[in-house]
Structure 1
Amino acid sequence: MNKISRTKAATINSAVASTAQIIQLIMQFVSRSIFINVLGAEFLGLNGLFVNLLGYLNFAELGLGAAITFSLFEPLVNNDKPQVAAIMHLFRKWYRFIALFVLIGGIMLTPFVPHLINNGTNHLNINVYAAFLLALSNTVLSYLLTYKRTLLLADQKGYINTLNTVGYNVAGQLIQIITLWLFKDFYLFLIIQAIMMFLSNLHVAKVVDRMYPYLSEYKNEKVSNKIIKYMKKNISGMLSSKMGGDYC
């Protein structure tokens, strides 16, 4: 991609991201207002607790996505297709390990969730364990196939990822709003969230496969030692930054 096309891509990415941000803020406000109106503030607090707990489990990602994005820049500029494919295959393997780690960690955390809720769980009239596992499934699914989004970001095609994300988010929120009014079911709210996450990742994965067919042509290619060292340096920096941001 030449300098002019990169400039145009950056402009498009910025415009799409800004518009998407506004749309998502509006939808989040509407969705949250209806959520509180239908289920009550207690369930909003419960959902917030789930988000916070799963956020700690997401620490296992260690800034890997950003580090991989940086590592893809040079191979993409040089049109080094074997190295791009090798990095993506390595990324897929790492993210599967992270998904497994988050799943195991979430299951181990599940028995303690009710003890973190003020005033107990009897007034909620739901199985908190089941609800948390549904929320956990959404987080685990977020690591499957989502690694392909990184390639779009590194190749200055982030607008495609943004359109995918905002499209499925808005569609999911609209479905959640309708089902909340009809069924007033927190479980269904979480199930829709997980399904839309999976469909979003599946869709963007198919788009990437179509745009970069060579990813399947270099299955046995190894990442060069130079890029591995660069990744380790970036991951170390991201980890330090993340720890500093979370604990300082």
Structure 2
Amino acid sequence: MSRTKTFLQNSITTAVYQAIVMISGFIVPRIMLVYYGSEINGLISSINQFITYFNLVEAGLSGATVYSLYKPLAENDHKGISAIVVAAKNFYIKSGYFFVGLVLALSLIYPLFIHLDELSPISISILIIALGAKGFLEFFTLAKYRTLLTAAQKTYVISIASSVYVVLNTIIIFVLSMLKCNILMVYILAIVALYARSLILIIYARKNFSYIDYNEEPNNSALDKRWDALFLQVLQSVHVGAPTVLATILTNLKMVSVYSVFNMVMVGINGILSIFVSGLSATFGDIIVRNEVDTLQKSYREFECVYYMIITFVYSVTMIMLQPFVSVYTTGVKDANYYQPLIAFLFVLNGFLHNLKTPQGMLVISAGHYKETKWQTITQALIAIVFGFIFGKYLGLVGILVGMCLSNLYRDIDLMFYIPKNVTHLSYKSTLIRIIRKIVDFMIIVFPFYYIKLDISNYLNWVFYAVLTSVYALAVILVEGLIFERNSIKSIFNRLLSMVKRQKNVN
């Protein structure tokens, strides 16, 4: 199977998965707000973020395992693959025990600091354990299969299994909430959905990787990059979770709920964008391992071109439509103020800055440059935490988001110079010029709406204006792209057209 076809197969299934996640992401918080209130919604968001941080006990293991599997998979070395998988399995089990201990500790400590009329301290403890159940299963059964499928460029299997889980989980929460069940009962019974995902991954992996010998001597040295990959994963967790944790410490659960509603939209958007990156780390990793320099440079230039066009389109439209959507989404919810235009602006700015470095960050993973970028990663994390805490103390959510923006801006600049010098050996100037053009596109699209007031009172109005805005944004970006990026766009189009023709000939 060609790399382009593999990429499209993974992308399509990821697209379906992300669409399901986005729909679920809109449904579940709305259910929490309507049936249980902003404080419960904020509580669940806060607990989930702490649990996300606890996943750091395996930080770097996934990335190191995937990277170490590129070579034996390319060489079809079954013994080498087995040795790495067994080593990963052993590490995951040890990490799992630490994870369980941290969740249990949180269940004892968290209720001492958070008080709700709706839930007793014991109920909060049980809720924490229920929300941590997904992690239990991940560490002890699934993680080794997930890393193997990722390295083998079969992320479509993970997407299918995860889609089944999300659908079942959403249905369970929706039905039980409609029946006005206790929030504890809702999340305890939702654990059932986890087993469907587990079953699919286990059956597929055992059938298609039956040659793996779990009695093989573990190759622990192959995972030495784990400790270097740790820092990259810490950074990713900081960007995902620091605002929620800081908001829990510096504000209150209602403001955490406000953050979670805006973040719900941004998570959905990042999910859509991940479609275009899904499986590419493994693809580029394979190219780097084979030392195909010309292929690397050509493919990377084309990917960066298209990805920057996509994020400019997505975030310019989001800048215009985010606050109107949140206002419609929270109609009837009166226990917190969800009209926060400045917070909406900072969310979009942070998202845009975060995704500017996605092409370069992907190559850091593909090339296994965890150790080489360790100190830059630490610096970025410190900027997010320190400035987020200082500004957040005086400005609340606004200050926390400013800290995140500064953190991403630093990393954008750092990677813009690092990747050309150490991986692609291309000029950084082409990336810089491309970014400047996209910022100009962004301003051209957004600026007129500073003067145009959109009259949006329901979802139908919102969709109408979103479509008009999207058409305008697409026109601006395509005109600029055809003027300055004609060759790259033509090359990508020809590659896709060639693949379609080959597929027709096969059929």
TM range (shorter): 0.7 to 0.9
Deviation at residue 23 of structure 1 after TM alignment: 2.4
1:11 maps to a residue whose letter is L
For 1:209 and 1:185, how far apart are their aligned partners in 2? 39
Change (3 A) 1:74 1:162: same
Give the letter aligned to residue 118 of structure 2. Answer: H
Structure-2 residue corresponding to 1:240: 231
Which one of the candidate residues 85, 88, 92 is aligned to 2:89?
Answer: 92
1:13 CA drift (Å): 0.6
User: Counterpart of 1:172 in structure 2: which amino acid?
Assistant: N
Counterparts of 1:56 and 1:99 in 2: how far apart (Å)?
Answer: 13
Note the alpha carbon deviations across 1:229-248, whole angstroms, 9 max, x for none. x5213x23312223455332
Q: What is the number of residues matched between the two proteins?
A: 237
Q: Which of 216, 219, 223 is the matching residue for 1:221?
A: 216
Partner Cα distance (2:30, 2:5) in 1: 38
Q: How does 1:41-120 map to 2 (within 5 A)?
A: 41-117=38-114, 120=115
Matched residues in 1 for 2:205 and 2:234: separation?
32
What percent identity do the matched residue pairs reach? 24
Would you say 1:121 and 2:112 are equivalent positions? no
* Consecutive unaligned residues in structure 1, runs of 5 or more: none
- Is contact 1:39–1:184 with CA below 8 Å preserved after alignment? no
Displacement after TM superposition at 1:196 (Å):
1.7
User: Does the 8 A contact of 2:60 with 2:229 survive in 1?
Assistant: yes
In structure 2, distance between residues paired with 1:21 and 1:10: 16
Residue 173 (structure 1) aligns with? 170
Instruction: List, as ranges, runs of 4+ consecutive aligned residues in structure 1 with deviation greater than 6 Å.
Output: none
Alignment of 1:184 onto 2:176 = no
Partner of 1:231: 223
Contact in 2 for aligned 1:73/1:155 (Cα 8 Å): yes
Residue equivalent to 1:151: 148
Cα-to-partner distance string for 1:192-234 (whole Å, 9 max, x where unaligned): 332222331232111110111112xx23322457xx2x5213x
Matched position secondary structure for 2:79:
helix
Measure the CA separation in 1 of the matches of 2:189 and 2:64. 31
- Deviation per CA, 1:61-116: give whole Å up to 9, x if none: 11211110111111111111112122112211111111111111222232211133
Letter in 2 for 1:241: L
Paired AA for residue 155 in structure 1: A
The residue number in structure 1 matching 2:209 is 212
> Partners of 2:202 and 2:43 in 1: how far apart?
32
State the Cα distance separating 1:182 from its structure 2 match.
1.2
Distance in 2 separating the partners of 1:209 and 1:190: 30
Residue of structure 1 aligned with 2:128, choices 114, 124, 132? 132
For structure 2, the 5+ residue unaligned runs are: 239-380, 383-507
1:96 aligns to what SS in structure 2?
helix
Q: Give secondary structure in 2 for the equivalent of 1:176.
A: helix
Computed over aligned residues only, the root mean square deviation of the Cα atoms, in angstroms, reads 2.0
- Classify the secondary structure of the residue corresponding to 2:2: helix
Q: 1:23 to 1:220 in 2, by over 3 A?
A: closer
CA contact 2:161–2:196 (8 Å) conserved in 1: no
TM-score (norm 2): 0.44
Amino acid aligned to 2:229 = M
Deviation string, structure 1 residues 39-74 (Cα, Å, up to 9, x no partner): 221211111121122122111111211110111111
**Counterpart Cα distance in 1 of 2:97 and 2:107:** 15
Letter in 1 for 2:130: L
1:187 Cα deviation (Å)? 1.5
Rg comparison, structure with higher value: 2
Higher relative contact order (CA 8 A, sep 6+): 1
CA 123–171 in structure 1, closer or farther in 2 if over 3 Å, else same:
closer
Residue 188 of structure 1 and its aligned partner are, at CA, apart by 2.3
Question: Partner of 2:32 in structure 1?
Answer: 35
